[in-house]
Amino acid sequence: MKSEHHLDNLDEDASGGLGLYPMRLVARMTGLSAATIRAWERRYGAIEPSRTDGNTRLFSAADVRRLSLLREATERGHAIGVAARLDEDALHALLQPPVGTEPPTAEPPSSSRPSGVRSAYAPLCDAYLHSVDQYEARRSHEILLRAAALLPGREFVMEVVLPVLREVGLRWEAGRFSVAHEHMVSAQLTAVLGTLRQVTPSDRGAPRIVVAAPEAERHEFGVLVGALLAAARGLEPIYLGADLPMADIERAATVSRCHLVLLGVARDLEPATEGPLAASIENLARNHRTWIGCPARHSLVTRIPGARFFHDFEALDLALVHVGTHALSG
Ligand code: B12
């Protein structure tokens, strides 16, 4: 199964190359407290994590998967003493409803119906959007955190973050999502940036990338995705958010000695602001390598010859890979 395959890849993708995870991260990934994990190990032998020389627990990807299944089993009313004796297949079977006993297929509430999100992880995206719709801030944040910790970074961004953001945009346009929903999603994704950094192996001294949307540009999702992709590629994004004066962006770039600046401009500029903004971005591009994400026919494309333009995230992602290799080997 696709999702299982990706969870199998955990060892390489999220554990700093060791294939082992510390308690703090495992608690975050599984949604269980450290005390519960310790108790399940001690009392029921539910898992057998390895130990460092200093006797600190280190968990494998299989331990993480098993703990997630055990959590689900106990949430569904199964006794931990019984569930802990089952192997992974038996746990999966336990969590499937027996044939013929599925609940009657009543029409789900409209907000939880599949949304038409196109993603390999559509059910996860739908679950996230449903909890956002219901203002379940804690649950929705947990869904994102777990996906960020369990999926390879790039896949998390392309198959979860982007489809979710596109759907949030559509719902917002259709009046089904309010500004509050949109703010909740932005805040959670910004927080997830931190997690992605924790779980993505990155070399010390990874290239820094200042990421921001310039003044008067309040569309933040594009730059957020850019920052997440950079983090997923092991680079060090300095994420400054939206509507930031160009002078501040330039200062941040200079002081941080960043490798490049990534700007996002999602809408057409007003005639009155276009000239001055183009001039300050041009100035920035003279002193710092500058990349700009924007719609394909945006007026800035012809005005700033010193910058490199991106109109989709696949192209940006590819370019970010090269930043990593060139900057680190250079
Ligand atoms: C959500 C939203 C908002 C939210 C933004 C919240 C937030 N935290 O970001 C709020 C409510 C603030 C908002 C405000 C406005 N919005 Co608005 N908004 C949208 C909406 C619904 C989604 C945009 C989005 O985030 N999409 C997801 C991102 C990931 O994709 P994207 O923006 O489509 O970007 C693609 C490309 O443009 C490019 N790209 C863009 N940025 C970047 C960045 C990088 C790094 C890269 C690589 C690529 C890239 O690649 C993407 C993939 O192809 C769109 C309509 C829509 N359904 O797309 C309108 C839209 C962008 N908004 C629009 C407008 C006009 C406005 C307002 C002027 C409305 C108003 N009258 O107040 C204000 C402007 C505010 C301001 N000063 O910036 C127009 C822009 C039209 C135009 N050509 O200029 C749109 C297209 C709606 C429309 N059909 O008219 N908006």
Would residue 101 count as lying in a domain?
no
Q: Whose CA is nearest to atom 21 of ligand 1?
A: 169
Would residue 130 count as lying in a domain?
yes
Q: Is 245 found in the same domain as 299? A: yes
Would residue 102 count as lying in a domain?
no
Q: Is 119 found in the same domain as 81? A: no
Between the CA of residue 21 and those of 27, 49, 61, 155, what are the distances in Å? 10, 10, 8, 20
Q: Is 300 found in the same domain as 193? A: no
Task: For 273-285, give the DSSP string.
Answer: HHHHHHHHHHHHH
Pocket of ligand 1, candidates 115, 219, 269, 270: which has the most ligand atoms within 8 Å of its Cβ, to mutate?
A: 219
Q: Is 276 found in the same domain as 173? A: no
Q: Is 76 found in the same domain as 15? A: yes
* Domain end position, chosen among 165, 197, 229: 197
Would residue 104 count as lying in a domain?
no
Low-confidence ranges of the chain (pLDDT < 50): 1-17, 99-112, 329-330
Q: Is 231 found in the same domain as 156? A: no
Would residue 103 count as lying in a domain?
no
Q: Is 324 found in the same domain as 211? A: yes
* Domain end position, chosen among 197, 218, 233: 197
Q: Is 325 found in the same domain as 215? A: yes
Q: How far from chain centre, in Å, is Cα 239?
A: 14
Residue type, 264: G
CATH of the domain at 217: 3.40.50.280
**What stretch of H or E contains 181?**
helix 179-199
Q: Is 185 found in the same domain as 84? A: no
* Domain end position, chosen among 152, 175, 197: 197
Q: Is 85 found in the same domain as 181? A: no
210 — phi, psi (to 5°)?
A: -80, 125
Q: Specify the pTM.
A: 0.74
Q: Is 236 found in the same domain as 129? A: no
Rounded CA-CA distance 61/69 in Å is 12
264 lines ligand 1 (CB under 6 A): yes
Q: Is 267 found in the same domain as 309? A: yes
Between the CA of residue 108 and those of 51, 113, 171, 178, what are the distances in Å? 46, 6, 18, 22
CA of 173 to the centre of ligand 1 (A): 10
Would residue 131 count as lying in a domain?
yes
Rounded CA-CA distance 26/33 in Å is 9
What does the pLDDT read at residue 130?
94
**Nearest ligand 1 atom, CA 162:** 29
CATH of the domain at 177: 1.10.1240.10
CATH of the domain at 54: 1.10.1660.10
165 lines ligand 1 (CB under 6 A): yes
Would residue 105 count as lying in a domain?
no
CA of 58 to the centre of ligand 1 (A): 43
Would residue 100 count as lying in a domain?
no
CA of 268 to the centre of ligand 1 (A): 10
What token pair was written down for 183? 């703010």
| Nearest by Cα to 84 from 55, 50, 42 | 42
Number of compact structural domains in the chain:
3
What does the pLDDT read at residue 7?
40
What does the pLDDT read at residue 21?
79
For residue 164, the enclosing domain spans 111-197
